[in-house]
Chain A
Amino acid sequence: MLVIDCPYCGPRPELEFSYGGQAHIARPANPATVETSDWAAFLYLRSNTRGLHAERWRHVRGCARFFNALRDTTTDKFIATYRTGEPAPAIDSRGDR
């Protein structure tokens, strides 16, 4: 069970969180103008990163907020967490900025 650093509540046990898929995939502002193939990519295409991966989590059994996290998929370790709307921090997998 991981410890996840909620940007609002601080470090909390994984049991309180739910996973929300890849981060930084914004819903197009005007879907009607989006090409069908681009819309399909928005719906279905996700990266399968080895290494640092930006993903969404929700502290669903806590403050209930969605937030984003950088996690190293080779070690499971969280490198950074940050609030929705903030850019992903420039960071490498050792956590050095």
Chain B
Amino acid sequence: MANPGLRQAPPVESSSWLRLLPPATRFVFRGPAAAHAAAGTVFGLRLPTTPCRASMRPARAALWLGPDEHLLMAPAEDLGALRSAFASGLRDIPHSLVDVSHRQGALELRGPDAAWLLTAGCPLDLDPAAFPVGMCTRTVFAKTEIVLWRTAAEAFHVEVWRSFTAYLVGMLQEVARELPQ
């Protein structure tokens, strides 16, 4: 296990509606439908097959990003164990498992203004009827790509590549200047 004290993620200034989520294990799991069941068994959480939906339980989340692409998330300390478990559990099943734990980070937007903040730059309809809790998708926010996942009526988990974090946060803070201080 690496020394976590050496880790340094892009800085994010927290506020009443924004916080940086702690480091996590992230894998991009890619493979055909035939691999999904085995992957779910190893991961301990079924991989969603419905487009744009996430499944989750404590310490595990699996997001459908494409028909052969899932984002799997777990606590940071599970990285090695999960990698070994996939290697042995899916030894004979063609698939790709790639560690992207450092490629991207996660922000949480929470509160009654969360959707309002996001629709300043995201062209999707974030009304709960159109984007319900449990929906997730890759999309855009202004000039950057994000993965947007609604975790509660008033909470969104936003994945962003590390070098775009400053831009995304800067944009959101600019939008938030309209909110009552």
Q: Do any beta carbons of A and B sit within 8 angstroms of each other in the complex?
A: yes
Tell me if B124 and A9 are in contact (CB < 8 A): no
Instruction: Give a binary string over A48-91; 1 marks a CB under 8 Å from any B CB, 0 the rest.
Output: 00000000000001111100000000000000000000000000
B84 on the interface (CB 8 Å rule)?
no
Interface residues on B, range: 10 to 19
Contact of A61 among B51, B67, B138 (CB under 8 A): B138
Contact of A8 among B51, B124, B139, B140 (CB under 8 A): B51
Nearest residue (CB) in A for B67 is A8
B65 on the interface (CB 8 Å rule)?
yes
A16 on the interface (CB 8 Å rule)?
yes
Contact of B145 among A10, A12, A61 (CB under 8 A): A61
Tell me if B137 and A13 are in contact (CB < 8 A): no
Q: Return B177 CB to nearest CB of chain A, in Å.
A: 24
B123 on the interface (CB 8 Å rule)?
yes
Residues 39 to 87 of chain B near chain A (Cβ within 8 Å) = 51-52, 65-67, 69
Q: Return A13 CB to nearest CB of chain B, in Å.
A: 4
What number of A residues sit within 8 Å (CB to CB) of B?
A: 13
Tell me if B140 and A65 are in contact (CB < 8 A): no
Tell me if B66 and A65 are in contact (CB < 8 A): yes
A34 on the interface (CB 8 Å rule)?
no
A32 on the interface (CB 8 Å rule)?
no
Contact of B67 among A1, A15, A65 (CB under 8 A): A65
- Classify the interface of chain A: helix, strand, loop or mixed: loop
Tell me if A8 and B123 are in contact (CB < 8 A): no
Given known contacts A9-B52, A63-B51, is B66 in contact with A15 (CB within 8 Å)? no
Contact of B140 among A9, A16, A63, A64 (CB under 8 A): A16
Contacts of A12 on B, CB cut-off 8 Å? 124
Contacts of B52 on A, CB cut-off 8 Å? 9
Given known contacts A61-B139, A62-B139, A64-B138, is B123 in contact with A13 (CB within 8 Å)? yes
Tell me if B124 and A64 are in contact (CB < 8 A): no
Q: Return A68 CB to nearest CB of chain B, in Å.
A: 16
Q: How far is the CA of A13 from the CA of B124 in the complex (A)?
A: 7
Given known contacts A8-B51, A9-B51, A16-B140, is B123 in contact with A64 (CB within 8 Å)? no
Q: Return A3 CB to nearest CB of chain B, in Å.
A: 10
Given known contacts A1-B123, A9-B52, A13-B123, is B66 in contact with A61 (CB within 8 Å)? no
11 sampled A-B residue pairs with Cβ under 8 A: A1-B123, A8-B51, A9-B51, A10-B51, A16-B139, A16-B140, A61-B145, A63-B51, A63-B65, A63-B138, A64-B138
**Additional 4 contacts, C-beta under 8 A, given A63-B69, A64-B65:** A10-B51, A13-B123, A62-B137, A63-B137
